[in-house]
Amino acid sequence: MNNAKRLIGTLVLLAVFGGALFFALRNNEETRLIAQEQAAIATAEPLKGFITVEMEPLFKDERVIKALAGAKLPVQVARVGSRDMATKVGGADQPDFFIASGVVAANMIADAARKAGKSATQTSPFHTPLVVASWEPVAKILAANGMARSIGPKIYGLDMEKLTQAMLAKQRWRDLKASGDYAVSRSVLVSTTDIRRSNSAAMYLALTSAALNGDVVADRTAGQKYAVQLAELFKRQGFQENYVNGAFDDYLAIGMGKTPLAFIYESQMLSQAQKGGGIKPEMVLMYPQPTIVNKLVLVTMSERAKQLAELLVANKTLQAVALEHGFRTGDTAAFAATAEKAGLAVDQRLNQVIDPPGFDLMFEMIDIVSREMNQ
């Protein structure tokens, strides 16, 4: 009997010891694998990239940094103007990827890569329409003069043809019908960035030229004529910021007196609406009719950069953070929910959208405006 008890006790001790040993070994293995994974993450070679100014806050977001590191795709990014990126292709400082603002700049990069015998692929994980940030009193004046119409609470459609004609005719706010709330002597103008540096200003040229032409400009002679005409709208603005963030900062900080109409990306307003200070009650969005949807285009120059492109499109965390920074993704419902939660009225459907002129014509028009501004 005693022998049987001793045997049972021994078996119990062996079972306990064996179980403890099993769990200890398993824990050691898990610890080893975690350490191995962390070491792999820590030693992963960073991808080098040049990004446009509106992408900077996204890549500085700690959640993005953590997600990319976890995927062994850490990045080192530097801000470069979209139209300057093509000059970096084939040089000593060529990065693994570019994120350009707009298809025109992205096509410049791809064209430079082709000429340099380099492989380049394009992916657009995020996009945002061009809009005019304005104020309720200003929007109502434009509506009273047939240049705008209400399409929802704090959302207006902007008749680009009528507005462009009014600006070229040098109309002043005080001369417009029902201008009592903004009867100032300054000319009716949309504030833009410097077309010599900025993609958003180039898209403004694309929209205003389409307004004069009745459609997207496709004829070189017409493009040259409109570019000369529209250069006046840039020259008469006075000083212009190089980047769209600067123009938006003026709109936020100084207000209607300096910036009644600011040509920006919708993402800027939605990002601001989600911050602590939010937006002021009288701020409104005006959607040019038609407008241009600006694609943030990732141009990859290496195999690992292609993995980054796949991650930005498919990773739910990265997509959610992009929404918080104001960008539209492939998830329309998530965008609508984000805007509603932020208290910002947006045009969800964007029924009137055009493309900019072709690559070569667009840059010829930009060059003409730039030369006119330098005279």
Lowest mean pLDDT among 11-25, 138-152, 260-274: 11-25
pLDDT digits (tens, 9 = 90+) for 179-193: 998 999 999 999 999
In three-state secondary structure terms, 109 is helix
Asked if the domains at 45-128+295-340 and 129-293+347-374 fall in one CATH topology, the answer is: yes
Domain ranges of the chain: 1-43, 45-128+295-340, 129-293+347-374
In this prediction, residue 36 has a pLDDT band, given cuts at 50, 70 and 90, of: very low
Q: How wide is the angle at C-alpha 249 spanned by C-alphas 183 and 335, nearest 5°?
A: 100
For 45-128+295-340, the fitting CATH number among 1.10.540.10, 3.40.250.10, 3.40.190.10, 3.30.450.40 is 3.40.190.10
pLDDT digits (tens, 9 = 90+) for 120-179: 999 999 999 999 999 999 999 999 999 999 999 999 999 999 999 999 999 999 999 999
CA distances (Å), 242 to each of 80, 81, 361, 375, in order? 12, 9, 22, 19
Look over the chain and give the mean of its residue pLDDT values, rounded to a whole number: 90
Sequence-ordered list of residues with C-beta below 8 angstroms from that of 32, at least 6 positions apart, any chain: none
Please name the residue ranges forming H helices in the chain.
2-43, 56-60, 62-70, 103-115, 136-144, 160-168, 199-213, 220-235, 244-253, 266-273, 303-314, 316-324, 332-342, 359-374
Q: Could you tell me how many residues make up the chain?
A: 375
Residue 35 pLDDT > 80, yes or no? Answer: no
Q: What's the pTM value of the predicted model, to 2 decimals?
A: 0.86
pLDDT at 81: 87
Joined tokens for residue 120: 């380049």
pLDDT digits (tens, 9 = 90+) for 66-105: 999 999 999 999 999 888 899 999 888 899 999 999 998 9
Considering the segment(s) 129-293+347-374 as one domain, its CATH architecture is 3-Layer(aba) Sandwich (3.40)
pLDDT digits (tens, 9 = 90+) for 218-245: 999 999 999 999 999 999 998 888 777 7
Residue 26 pLDDT > 70, yes or no? Answer: no
Sequence-ordered list of residues with C-beta below 8 angstroms from that of 234, at least 6 positions apart, any chain: 192, 195, 201, 240, 369, 373
